[in-house]
Structure 1
Amino acid sequence: MKYIDAFNHFFPDQLWQKMLHAEGAAKDIGKRMRGIPCIFDLDERFRVMDRFDDYTQILSLGMPPLESLGAPEETVEYARLGNDGLAELVANHPDRFAGFVASLAMNAPEEAAREAERAFVELGANGLQIHSNINGAPLDDPRFFGVFEMAAKHGKPILLHPSRKSDMPDYHTETKSKYEIWWTFGWPYETSTALARLVFSGMMDRLPNLKVLAHHLGAMIPYFEGRVGPGWDQLGNRTSAEDRDLISSPIKRRPLDYFKEFYADTAVFGSRSATMCGLDFFGVDKTLFASDSPFDPEKGPGYIRDTIKVLESLDLPTADMEKIAFRNAQSLFGLKAN
């Protein structure tokens, strides 16, 4: 089976070197990532990829969001370096990398929209990676609409990646999240919340051509289909009269209908039950193979291998397996079919 990995992460050398020699947050990230060579060392990336037959990747930058790494003048440069570097990797290694999604400095929204267009028109980017909040601000903030509008205009997808840190506590009486709950449960909540804000803000009605892929198989959405469906059909029943402004929404259809239109990927760390739940919700036409490499315990090959193993264990019809493994990626990212 041919596999196109729709969501995995890599820092091109131009950006990696800049981060290592920067001050503050960018330098700290570089230091922490040095223990995962597959995210910055191209030879190591190739060694990992060579373990799998007929396997290529759609590249995206790793965490954290660029907008969290400094002032706009710094993060705008990071975005250009990252996008130029990923585009160069795709051009130089088309047999390895089927495409890339651009990253943006969302703390400079107007510059971000211009960089998105540059990435699409000049670099051939196949989509955009945006995180679930912008330095704490929601995605439906009007400041960011131009970025989503640019993606819809060019027919390119938004790949939604969760973002949350330990400084968001699990309880009001504490100042930090313990036991990495901020990641284990916080990231799926982040993704689900961001999707809900896109829906209830009317973004999906305003931009009917917008395509959004939710990392990690739609996070909480498939498991909570009952709440998203008949639960949200009762929107307002649990809200007091003085808070009616908190539920005002311009949407034209059931909330569930919008959530069903999102795309999702199979990056659930090798969980068969989660994969089955996500596939049942999104269907084979909206699900793309992805690994989230190289953040597995083996620092590269583990999640690729385990995700393929789970998909093969489902004994899907060949046509359905092909859709998940590579055909949906070809369609969503505008790749040449072969």
Structure 2
Amino acid sequence: MSEKVRIVGLEEHVVLPVLLDAWAKAGVPRIPQLGYGDEPFARRLRETGDQRLADMDDQGLDVAVLSLATPGVQNLEAADAVSVARDANDALAAIVDANADRFQALAAIPTPSPEAAAEELERAVTQLGFRGAMVYGRTGAKPADAPEFDDLYATAERLRVPLHFHPQTPVQAVQEAYYSGLPNGVGPMLATAGLGWYYDLGVQYLRMIFSGVFDRHPDLQVIAGHWGEVVLFYLDHIGILQNAAKLERPLADYFRQNFWVAGSGTVSERYLRWTAEVVGTGRMLYSTDYPYTFGTRPGGFPFLDTSGGVARSFLERAPFTAEEKAAIGSGNWERLTGHVAGRRGRHDATLG
């Protein structure tokens, strides 16, 4: 019998009291999808104890890499973003310390204050032992390729840790132009989890490439969820911009050298095979997008349910070799971030 595949999920969301308080202060809607209220989904989003561990066991997940739900601290004023990110990262570190065999974490980054963003990434990696950070594309209307984020990208490159980009809701003008006026309340869903999230973030990736972010930081590593946020499916067509953009490398090379791709709980074998064809299994990671894909919910889809062992069985049934499945499940993640493991322990030892 083959050895059981170890699975590390990289997009496993949580909200913390400090974040809920900050969102409320900023006027964010108090809805279950953001962790407010007593509905089962909202409770799962806040949970970091026995219930989450039980759900991980139910899915077949060995380790959850925790990160704040979108948009993290990126919709806050600069001063608030800095303090909330720091408090949230300290809280995440305590959660990981309490159960280090099952939890890791990606740092919250206060991009509304770019200088502080780079400093907080440094602290989170070197002092808290985080293996990277979760960021959410735009900061307000400011795109991810804005020059003021170069210090953040340079810091990630120097520390050799990845930045996992997660979608957020398109800007209001885009919502009104493309997603308003539809019947039956479809518009807001189409603007977010239905489609808008993925287009919005895919455009950020392309802006980063065309603006030279990866030419200035050739070793910067980015994790893309949702099977590459649409872009992988259109690389051949987008390639018509190759000459006009004056890229230093072929467009596809950026995705094969600077990007790692996970499925975010979309258990589609077609997308799985296509991702392997485009970037190769050596650049594929795993994620469940918990709790957004845990169990069926009104308006949900069967391929977005990772409960009942589906997260594990999807990978185990994949049309890959045992070695490739092991790499996707956890081996690639360890290859990408294993050098960070133990930093918190070494830092604590120096304090003792």
Bin the TM-score by the shorter chain.
Answer: 0.7 to 0.9
Match for 2:189 among 166, 180, 186? 180
Residues of 1 paired with 2:32 and 2:178: CA distance? 33
Query: What is the aligned partner in structure 2 of residue 28 from structure 1?
Result: 30
Q: List runs of 5+ in structure 2 lacking aligned partners.
A: 298-303, 343-352
Matched letter for residue 320 of structure 2: L
Superposed, 1:234-313 pairs within 5 Å as: 235-236=243-244, 249=245, 251-261=247-257, 262-296=259-293, 298=295, 302-303=305-306, 305-313=309-317
> In structure 2, the residue corresponding to 1:106 is in which secondary structure?
coil
Q: Kindly tell me: are residues 38 and 31 of structure 1, through their superposed partners in 2, closer, same or farther at Cα, counting changes over 3 Å?
A: closer
Residues of 2 paired with 1:151 and 1:172: CA distance? 35
Query: What is the aligned partner in structure 1 of residue 100 from structure 2?
Result: 94
Query: How far off is 1:268 after superposition?
Result: 4.7
> In structure 2, the residue corresponding to 1:218 is in which secondary structure?
helix
Q: Tell me the TM-score normalised to structure 2 length.
A: 0.82
Match for 2:123 among 100, 118, 128? 118
Query: How far off is 1:24 after superposition?
Result: 3.3
Query: How far off is 1:5 after superposition?
Result: 0.8
Query: How far off is 1:158 after superposition?
Result: 0.7
> In structure 1, the residue corresponding to 2:172 is in which secondary structure?
coil
- Asked if the contact 2:19/2:73 (under 8 Å) is kept, the reply is no
- Asked if the contact 2:59/2:310 (under 8 Å) is kept, the reply is no
Matched letter for residue 287 of structure 2: A
Query: What is the aligned partner in structure 1 of residue 71 from structure 2?
Result: 64
Query: What is the aligned partner in structure 2 of residue 195 from structure 1?
Result: 205
Q: Kindly tell me: are residues 5 and 32 of structure 1, through their superposed partners in 2, closer, same or farther at Cα, counting changes over 3 Å?
A: closer
Query: What is the aligned partner in structure 1 of residue 58 from structure 2?
Result: 51
- Asked if the contact 2:12/2:287 (under 8 Å) is kept, the reply is yes
1:116-160, Cα deviation, whole Å (9 max, x unpaired) = 111111111110111121111111111111111111111110101
Query: How far off is 1:327 after superposition?
Result: 0.3
> In structure 2, the residue corresponding to 1:6 is in which secondary structure?
strand
> In structure 2, the residue corresponding to 1:293 is in which secondary structure?
coil
Residues of 1 paired with 2:179 and 2:254: CA distance? 36
Query: What is the aligned partner in structure 2 of residue 243 from structure 1?
Result: none
Query: How far off is 1:78 after superposition?
Result: 1.2
1:194-234, Cα deviation, whole Å (9 max, x unpaired) = 111111111112112211111112121221132133x334x
Percent identical residues: 23
Query: What is the aligned partner in structure 1 of residue 138 from structure 2?
Result: 133
Residues of 1 paired with 2:226 and 2:251: CA distance? 20
Structure (1 or 2) with the greater helix fraction = 2
1:6-48, Cα deviation, whole Å (9 max, x unpaired) = 22111245x256448x523357367842332111122321221
Query: What is the aligned partner in structure 1 of residue 13 from structure 2?
Result: 9
Q: Kindly tell me: are residues 23 and 29 of structure 1, through their superposed partners in 2, closer, same or farther at Cα, counting changes over 3 Å?
A: farther
Residues of 1 paired with 2:97 and 2:16: CA distance? 13
Q: Kindly tell me: are residues 295 and 253 of structure 1, through their superposed partners in 2, closer, same or farther at Cα, counting changes over 3 Å?
A: same
> In structure 2, the residue corresponding to 1:222 is in which secondary structure?
helix
Query: How far off is 1:302 after superposition?
Result: 3.3
Query: What is the aligned partner in structure 2 of residue 148 from structure 1?
Result: 153
Match for 2:164 among 159, 162, 166? 159
Q: Kindly tell me: are residues 50 and 172 of structure 1, through their superposed partners in 2, closer, same or farther at Cα, counting changes over 3 Å?
A: closer
1:162-220, Cα deviation, whole Å (9 max, x unpaired) = 11247344564886782522122211212211111111111112112211111112121
Query: How far off is 1:283 after superposition?
Result: 1.0
Match for 2:238 among 228, 248, 256? 228
Residues of 1 paired with 2:79 and 2:220: CA distance? 28
Residues of 1 paired with 2:13 and 2:61: CA distance? 19
Residues of 2 paired with 1:228 and 1:334: CA distance? 34
Residues of 2 paired with 1:24 and 1:18: CA distance? 9
Question: How many residue pairs get matched?
Answer: 319
CA RMSD of aligned residues (A): 2.7
Residues of 2 paired with 1:268 and 1:197: CA distance? 26
Matched letter for residue 159 of structure 2: H
* 1:76 has 2:82 as partner: yes
Q: Kindly tell me: are residues 92 and 5 of structure 1, through their superposed partners in 2, closer, same or farther at Cα, counting changes over 3 Å?
A: same
Residues of 1 paired with 2:33 and 2:277: CA distance? 40
Query: How far off is 1:303 after superposition?
Result: 2.5
Residues of 2 paired with 1:274 and 1:63: CA distance? 23
> In structure 1, the residue corresponding to 2:25 is in which secondary structure?
coil
